[in-house]
């Protein structure tokens, strides 16, 4: 009796160890002998869920809706999964779309709208520091194609963008870890390739702007530097939650396995 109890306990310990060591991803392998218990399971590969990031930050719902309706989301996510080059996305907040009265996006064809959304990204990861070099390069083409280009200026650390129609700046970094950079910009980027070069000298409707922008900036008051790390957390913590759930499942399985074996 004593013997069987002891062996039962050691068997449980073994099952426990192995299920812990193998973590959530691999199927249970109760009989595998792992002489040196591996430390904590390796973190999941660097998959960045753009839908998730954009739905918790911002608010960027308008941009996310356009991404989904034009299916550009697949293009972006595909580029993000492609860790060789990565992606840099400039995301206007909902208030920027609201402030956009003229020219309006409602008259655009589906193809033009798609190009406009693609115009907000470049097929390469750029950290904020990289824009210093980019600003000397002249027009940089976007995912919409070479005739859809942006000019950058690095004004002592603040990145300014110029699309011809839109002159704006990066107001915070939502995520900036190779291969995915997401920067919040203050305006919707309007390309000359769609709206032409006949740009009105001063974009109309700056009058109601003070009403919108400072107040709209307040709720998500991330500072430029902190934005990247604090916004990265929700995704990692949620993957930890999933991992923990898997581990508990394995523990339960292991315990059941033990009982069945002995009774």
List contacts with ligand NAG (CB under 6 A): 47, 49, 51-52, 55, 74, 77-78, 81, 103-104, 107, 138-139, 151, 162-164, 192
CB of 198 to ligand NAG, least distance (A): 13
CB of 250 to ligand NAG, least distance (A): 21
Nearest by Cα to 35 from 19, 14, 16: 14
CB of 214 to ligand NAG, least distance (A): 27
Residue number, 86 or 258, with CB nearest to ligand NAG: 86
Residue number, 7 or 51, with CB nearest to ligand NAG: 51
Residue number, 192 or 217, with CB nearest to ligand NAG: 192
Residue number, 77 or 171, with CB nearest to ligand NAG: 77
CB of 78 to ligand NAG, least distance (A): 4
CB of 109 to ligand NAG, least distance (A): 11
CB of 232 to ligand NAG, least distance (A): 14
Residue number, 5 or 241, with CB nearest to ligand NAG: 241
Residue number, 78 or 249, with CB nearest to ligand NAG: 78
Residue number, 47 or 256, with CB nearest to ligand NAG: 47
CA distance 186 to 202: 16
CB of 184 to ligand NAG, least distance (A): 19
Residue number, 140 or 254, with CB nearest to ligand NAG: 140
In our burial notation (b when 16+ CB lie closer than 10 A, e otherwise), range 152-186 reads bbbeeeebbbbbbbbebbbbbbbbbbebbbbbbbb
| Three-state secondary structure readout of the chain | CHHHHHHHHHHHHHHHHHHHHHCCCCCCCCCCCCCCCCCCCCCCCCCCCHHHHHHHCCCCHHHHHHHHHCCHHHHHHHHHHCCCCCEEEEEECHHHHHHCCCCCCCCCCHHHHHHHHHCCEECCCCCHHHHHHHCCCCCEEECCEEEEEEEEEEECCEEEEECECCEEEEEEEEEEECCEEEEEECCCCCEHHHHCCCCCCCCCCCCCHHHHHHHHHCCCCCCHHHHHHHHHHHHHHHHHHHHHHHHHHHHHHHHHHHHHHHC
CB of 223 to ligand NAG, least distance (A): 25
CA distance 247 to 41: 10
């Amino acid at each position: 009796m004593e013997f069987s109890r002891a062996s039962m306990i050691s068997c449980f310990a073994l099952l426990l160890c192995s299920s812990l060591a193998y973590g959530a991803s691999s199927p249970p392998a109760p009989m595998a002998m792992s002489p040196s218990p591996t430390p904590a399971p390796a973190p999941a590969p660097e998959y960045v869920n753009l839908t998730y990031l954009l739905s918790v930050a911002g608010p960027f719902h308008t941009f996310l809706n356009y991404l989904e309706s034009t299916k550009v989301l697949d293009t972006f996510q595909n580029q993000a999964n492609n860790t060789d080059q990565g992606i840099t996305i400039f995301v206007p907040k909902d208030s920027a779309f609201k402030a956009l009265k003229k020219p309006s996006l409602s008259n655009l064809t589906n193809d033009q709208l798609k190009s406009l959304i693609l115009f907000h990204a470049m097929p390469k990861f750029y950290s904020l520091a990289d824009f210093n070099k980019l600003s000397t390069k002249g027009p940089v083409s976007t995912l919409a194609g070479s005739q859809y280009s942006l000019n950058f200026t690095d004004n002592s650390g603040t990145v300014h963008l110029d699309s011809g129609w839109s002159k704006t700046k990066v107001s915070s970094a939502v995520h900036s870890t190779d291969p995915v950079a997401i920067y919040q910009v203050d305006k919707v980027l309007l390309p000359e390739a769609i709206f032409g070069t006949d740009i009105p000298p001063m974009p109309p409707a700056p009058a109601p702007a003070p009403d919108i922008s400072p107040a709209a900036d307040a709720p998500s008051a991330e500072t430029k530097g902190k934005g990247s790390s604090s916004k990265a957390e929700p995704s990692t913590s949620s993957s930890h939650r999933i991992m923990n759930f898997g581990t508990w499942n394995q523990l339960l399985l292991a315990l059941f396995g033990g009982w069945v074996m002995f009774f």
